[in-house]
Amino acid sequence: MSAVRNFLKGMRRGSVVSGTVGSIHHFGVFVHLDGEPDPDDPIGFVRVPEITWRHFDEVEEVLATGDRVRGVVIDVDERRRQVCVSLKALQPDPPPVREMTENDVRLEALRRKLLD
């Protein structure tokens, strides 16, 4: 059995992993996970929606090649030789969206009236 296959078999959903950002693309980030058998072939992958709760336009606004990251394993794909990781799983949840109160509605109506 190959070293990569053994490494993948040792990965479990929900495990916390660390690594170094290897390359950044518009669709996500490849990460060299600590303990990977082949340092030239990153096994970790973070999809854009799993990077952070914050809004950003470009991945480079949040991460740079060489950054150290920690995340939670959300999937192990042995066929693609990839471990999907969520960085935002270790971040605090975003604040809940606040419902507009009656007072908020009145203030918004007044603001619109003043702008007209």
How far apart, in whole angstroms, are the C-alpha atoms of residue 6 and residue 38? 12
Condensed to tens digits (0 to 9), the pLDDT of residues 24-58 reads 999 999 999 999 988 788 899 999 999 999 889 99
CATH top class, domain 3-115? mainly beta
- Map tokens 């929606």 to a residue: 49
Amino acid of residue 79 = R
Every domain of the chain and the residues it spans: 3-115
Which value, to the nearest 10 degrees, does the dihedral of the CA atoms of residues 19, 17, 82, 77 take?
180
The reported pTM is 0.78
Condensed to tens digits (0 to 9), the pLDDT of residues 4-21 reads 889 999 999 999 999 999
Q: Which residues of 6-29 are buried (b: 16+ CB within 10 A; e: fewer)?
A: ebbeebeeeeebebbbbebeeebb
Q: How does residue 1 score in pLDDT terms, banded at 50, 70 and 90?
A: low
